[in-house]
Structure 1
Amino acid sequence: MRRSEFDRAVEREFGARSATLVSDLGLPGVGGRTAREALAEGIAPRDVWMALCVEMDVPVSHRHGAGRREPHARR
């Protein structure tokens, strides 16, 4: 997962709450850091996304492949 995919996944899953969650919620899965802190310290976006999903009880069906863009239709 790229950082841009992380950002899209968070926005799609949490909407208006996304900025607050990323900056304020401590995530045990990344040592109690916020998502913003974890990313700044070089923790992989995929690991941060999964920690956020666990903490927020995101359904497993929403976790994998999140943030990816829809493929362009071939002509």
Structure 2
Amino acid sequence: MRLQEFWGQIRSQFGDLRGESIARDHVFSAFGGRTAVAAIDSGVPVRTVWLAICEEFDVPAQAR
């Protein structure tokens, strides 16, 4: 998954404002207390981050 696809999926599932907030403000224990953006910036694969968001926010399997 590319970063551009990640942001498209975030916006598609959560809307522009909520999606931005989830990615930039929500702290994930799966990433050691980092946000999704911080995890990506530190080298966690984008797909891994997306799947963690899906798990945390109960995104339906067909949208993952």
**Identity over aligned pairs, percent:** 40
TM-score between both structures, scaled by the size of structure 2:
0.89
In the alignment, structure 1 residue 50 sits paired with structure 2 residue 33: no
Secondary structure of the residue aligned to 1:42 is coil
Secondary structure of the residue aligned to 2:34 is coil
Give the structure with the larger strand fraction: 2
Give the structure with the larger helix fraction: 2
Give 4+ residue runs of structure 1 displaced > 3 Å after superposition. none
Q: Which structure ranks higher in relative contact order (CA pairs < 8 Å, sequence separation ≥ 6)?
A: 1
Matched length: 63
Cα distance in 2, alignment partners of residues 52 and 32 from structure 1: 13
1:22-37 alignment, distance < 5 Å: 22-37=23-38
RMSD: 1.0
